[in-house]
Amino acid sequence: MTGQTPLLEAKNLQCERDDRILFENLSFSVDPGDVVQIEGPNGAGKTTLLKLLCGLAPLRQGELFWRGERMSQARPQFLSSLLYLGHKTGVKALLTPLENLRAWCAQREDVNEERMMAALETVGLAGYEYSPCNSLSAGQQRRAALARLHVSSAPLWVLDEAFTAIDKKGVAQLEALLREKANAGGAVILTTHHSLHLSGEVRRIQLGAAS
Amino acid sequence: MLAFRRPQELANPLVFFVMAVSLFPLGVSPEKSFLAPAAAGVVWVASLLATLLSLDALFRADHEDGSLEQLTLAPQPLFILVLAKVFAHWLTTGLPLILLSPVLALMLHVDESLLGVLMLSLLVGTPVLSLIGAIGAALTVGLRVGGVLISLLVLPLYIPVLIFGTGMVQSAAAGMDYTATLAMLGAILALSLTLAPFAAAAALKISVSN
């Protein structure tokens, strides 16, 4: 895909924590259709890198570009094309999966009730739509968050440890979904300790290789 | 956003409000000569502390389950979302306090003609308490023990509201015109309504990035 402006471009990113440099001079770009897996041992800065990319953590050094535009200017467009799923998923334990999804969609996507129900069914929460999330298992809560992926049309997904607490079948389903997303021209950046079995190509960024 | 499913948390500030106010006649003096002039102050101080009590929960749950990250990454400007949260907070604490206040004020021998003024002062004053409190809550949400720090941060800013709020009722009790103090209170509300959401949003961004 040469000649095309990359979706997201990072230049010379650096991350420092407690006077230790986790990574520096990290540059990469993400094009539409890319699945980028960020690898590294625990504490290598994977989550921090994702947070830097999303603007959740302050960028101390380096630059970010969204569709060729500097991030500081393109931030509104960037936010409306981003789906971020962190360690903490933002699923409210007191609300039901359906209510959670509805609240999330209300801010972003124009999705009708049937599609939400269908998304919850796809992630295997059929029959649990109306039970509060604190009565669900960890995996089911994670699935409630993953239901967002099924209704999202955002071109960039940033997933931090998306496979945690998900069973084998769910993992396979999620992998298929990611592939589908990439084929549709979306881009996915994710961290996971799973080895991904995607049919297509997965680009890997290795962090913490020096230590 | 509307975590109505935890009734005890909702009732907490209200119960505190009622108890604090009803302890005064028991603890100091049940005489009308003492209670009537002090009543406005008592009701105001109690509602101020009740609001303070509820502040810590404003963003904490959101921070713990990650909703705060989702909020900061939402396409809408953060200050609007903060404003919505503060409004919800006011609806669940400020408004019930206002509705309860005439009952408690009557218990403290407040003249019936002053009830309206007291409620009006609370109506203009409690949103300010929620708004300013949101800044404190946003600043301390990333800390493990935010509660004490919120009080320290926010209480000095509450004092003008308290002074004008009680001042309004007292001047009405003295038969004077209270529109000047009401205007001051309204000005404080306008100022905090326009500035506090931005300050709280900025504070939230800092808290999230840690």
Q: Are B69 and B147 in contact (CB under 8 A)?
A: no
Structure tokens belonging to residue B27: 């603890």
Task: List, for chain A, all residue ranges whose pLDDT scores fall below the cut of 70.
Answer: 1-4, 197-200, 208-211
Q: What are the extents of the domains in chain B?
A: 7-209
Find out whether B86 and A119 touch, Cβ atoms under 8 Å: no
A72 with A164, same domain? yes
Residues of B within 8 A of A57 (CB-CB) are: 209
Choose one of A153, A170, A194: the last residue of a domain.
A153
A91 with B65: Cβ contact below 8 A: yes
Same domain, A6 and A77: yes
Instruction: For residues B83 and B193, give the distance between their C-alpha atoms in angstroms, rounded to a whole number.
Output: 8
User: What pLDDT score does A211 carry?
Assistant: 41
Are A90 and B72 inside 8 Å of each other by CB?
no
Cβ contacts of B67 on chain A, cutoff 8 Å = 90, 92
Secondary structure (3-state) at B29: coil
ipTM score over 0.85, yes or no: no
Phi, psi of A204 (to 5 degrees): -120, 140
A17 plus A38 within the same structural domain: yes
Query: Looking at the structure, do residues A111 and A159 belong to the same domain, yes or no?
Result: no
The answer to whether B14 and B97 have CB atoms below 8 angstroms apart is yes
Residue A200's pLDDT is what? 64
Q: Residues A61, A116: one domain?
A: no
The shortest CB-CB distance from A88 to any of B3, B5, B65 is to: B65
A72 and A166 within one domain: yes
Tell me, yes or no, if A76 comes closer than 8 A to chain B by beta carbon.
Answer: yes
Q: A197 and A185, same structural domain?
A: yes
**Is residue B80 within 8 angstroms of chain A, CB to CB?**
no
A57 with A26, same domain?
yes
Query: Closest chain B residue to A132 measured between Cα atoms?
Result: B5
Based on the domain organization, do A166 and A66 belong to the same domain? yes
pLDDT of A169: 81
Q: Tell me which of A153, A169, A190 is where a domain ends.
A: A153
| pLDDT at residue number B193 | 92
A82: nearest CA partner in chain B: B73
Q: Which amino acid is at B13?
A: P
User: What DSSP element (H or E) covers A156?
Assistant: strand A156-160
Q: Report the pLDDT value the prediction gives residue B146, as an integer from 0 to 100.
A: 66
**Cβ contact B69–A88 (<8 Å):** yes
The pLDDT score that the predictor gives to residue B162 is 92
Asked if B6 reaches chain A (Cβ–Cβ under 8 Å), the answer is: yes
| Together in a domain, A97 and A140 | yes
Give the domain range for residue A93.
Answer: 88-153
Q: What is the CATH number of the domain that holds A2?
A: 3.40.50.300
| Minimal C-alpha gap between A199 and chain B (Å) | 30
Mean pLDDT by 10 residues, chain B (210 residues): 58 84 82 81 89 84 80 81 87 88 86 86 91 89 78 89 90 85 91 91 83
What's the number of domains chain A is made of? Answer: 2
Does residue A67 share a domain with residue A158?
yes
A83 to chain B, minimum CA–CA distance in Å?
Answer: 8
Confidence at residue B128, expressed as pLDDT on a 0 to 100 scale:
93
Q: Are residues A71 and A160 in the same domain?
A: yes
